[in-house]
Amino acid sequence: MTLRRRALTQFTISGLAMSGLAALATPARADAPRVTIALVPIYGTDPFYTTMNRGARAAAQAVGATLLYQGPTEPSPVQQVQALNAVMARKPDVLLVAPADRTLMVAPLRKVALDLGVPVICVDTYIGATPATYQTGGGEADFPLCYIASDDAAGGALAARGLANAIEGAGQVYVSATWPTVATLGRREEGFRAEMARSFPNVTVLPTQYTGMDPAKAAIQLHAMLQQAPNLAGVFCVNPGAAVGTFNALKEAGRSGMVKLAVIDATEQMVGALKSGQVDLIVSQHPAEMGWLGTMLGYGVATGQSIPTRIDTGFTLMDRKNIDDPGMKRFIYAR
């Protein structure tokens, strides 16, 4: 891989100013090719993906492309395949997809890429081996042209450093996760555990609890963990689906603010919890940039350009000291 290509594939975007990039995209000329791009999320109502869609729409408007956004009502590979079939019937030129399962979605997406001949770009999550690397010439899941997402292991490590600092470098913590089959979430847990082991020997990471996005289950798990570890110091929630039930249960137990919480994703609900003291650190991703870049690169592919195989869209750290800074507003997942 040439140095330039490596530089491109490792081109990390942190704090991307979409307005700046938008300025690079001149308005579409009347004779510009009409390109249709489809975006299929894990599930369509998730604020993370509606924010991704907002960025995708901005890019589609800048280049005069048509954007189709179609996702299941809940996270399920079976439902995602149904959404995929529906959107492919509308014959898009390029598919952007956040695979709901890194194994089960290989065959359906391979059909799109190789049988239907529609280029596939993975956004947020991925298919195949970890870390996601594509166009290498090997393997069943090598066909996506690019993977545009956060480096989730790095996100887990950021959360570990923030949580360790919040508990003054010592104590028992655990990871509250949601779905074990979604590639990104497992990487966050791995990155969190590795960083704690590497840098914080006095922090003990207890067994991970899987909530399946069910706040009631997260609450039951929190209460059980408080029984197991009465001096529990902190919890890392891999996304808001794990955080809501956790911080509600802490409030019920009268432990809000005493057990520190770090969470990935800056939904408006998580920002409200940060401001009210129920959450202590947010590691915000950049879903709007993922959607914007996915659409721009998809347009490039549809008009004959080659594109990098990996774009890392970075993170923004939010706490009570900086959350009201003007520059933070655009990283909050507002619909």
* Nearest alpha-carbon partner for 123 in 194, 39, 65: 39
Q: C-beta of 41: minimal distance to ligand T6T in Å?
A: 8
Q: Of the two residues 154 and 264, which places its CB atom closer to ligand T6T in the complex?
A: 264
Q: Of the two residues 109 and 182, which places its CB atom closer to ligand T6T in the complex?
A: 182
Q: C-beta of 263: minimal distance to ligand T6T in Å?
A: 9
Q: C-beta of 256: minimal distance to ligand T6T in Å?
A: 22
Q: C-beta of 152: minimal distance to ligand T6T in Å?
A: 7
The 8-class DSSP code of residue 132 comes to: -
Q: Of the two residues 112 and 237, which places its CB atom closer to ligand T6T in the complex?
A: 237
Q: C-beta of 240: minimal distance to ligand T6T in Å?
A: 6
Binding site for ligand T6T (CB under 6 A): 42, 46, 48, 124-125, 182, 184, 239-241, 264-265, 285
Q: C-beta of 334: minimal distance to ligand T6T in Å?
A: 15
* Alpha-carbon gap, residue 285 to 15, rounded angstroms: 10
Q: C-beta of 96: minimal distance to ligand T6T in Å?
A: 14
Q: Of the two residues 48 and 192, which places its CB atom closer to ligand T6T in the complex?
A: 48
Q: How buried is residue 74: exposed, middle or buried, by Cβ count under 10 Å (0-12/13-18/19+)? A: middle
Q: How many CA atoms lie within 13 A of 93 on its CB side?
A: 19
Q: Of the two residues 63 and 81, which places its CB atom closer to ligand T6T in the complex?
A: 81
CB 70 within 8 A of CB 79: no
* Alpha-carbon gap, residue 296 to 301, rounded angstroms: 9
Per the DSSP assignment, residues forming a β-bridge with 284 are 316
* Alpha-carbon gap, residue 142 to 146, rounded angstroms: 10
* Alpha-carbon gap, residue 42 to 44, rounded angstroms: 7
Strands (E), 105-222: 120-123, 146-149, 171-177, 203-205, 209-210
* Alpha-carbon gap, residue 88 to 82, rounded angstroms: 10
Q: Of the two residues 221 and 239, which places its CB atom closer to ligand T6T in the complex?
A: 239
* Alpha-carbon gap, residue 271 to 178, rounded angstroms: 20
Q: Of the two residues 158 and 232, which places its CB atom closer to ligand T6T in the complex?
A: 158
CB 330 within 8 A of CB 266: no
